[in-house]
């Protein structure tokens, strides 16, 4: 009985597999203005805001909208 229980336990344990990672890296290739991110926050509408040395970036889950300061300011 002990052997059966151990075999059943190992069979169930080994049958489990890790879920694939759902983390997607975000960088300049995806539209971020700069890879050096200074700060990240999320607003009440769910948008992620990234502050970089080049400007402010809003991420809607699919694409970035970039905001730059005017050079005359």
The b-or-e profile of 30-44 (16+ CB within 10 A means b, else e) is: eebbbeeeeeeeeee
List, in sequence order, every beta strand (DSSP E) within 1-73: 37-42, 48-52, 56-59, 64-67
pLDDT value at 43 more than 60:
yes
The two beta strands, 37-42 and 56-59, are unpaired
| pLDDT greater at residue 19 or residue 49 | 49
The neighbour count for residue 50, using CB atoms within 10 Å, is: 20
Longest dimension (CA), the chain: 81
Predicted pLDDT of residue 48 = 96
pLDDT value at 39 more than 90:
yes
Domain ranges of the chain: 30-73
Confidence label for 19 from pLDDT (cuts 50, 70 and 90): low
pLDDT, mean of residues 32-55: 94
């Amino acid at each position: 009985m002990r052997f059966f229980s151990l075999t059943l336990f190992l069979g169930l344990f080994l049958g489990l597999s890790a879920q694939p990672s759902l983390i997607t890296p975000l960088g300049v290739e995806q539209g971020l203005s700069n890879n050096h991110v200074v700060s990240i926050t999320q607003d009440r509408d769910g948008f992620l805001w990234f502050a970089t040395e080049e400007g402010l970036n809003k991420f809607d889950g699919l694409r970035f909208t970039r905001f730059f300061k005017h050079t005359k300011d």
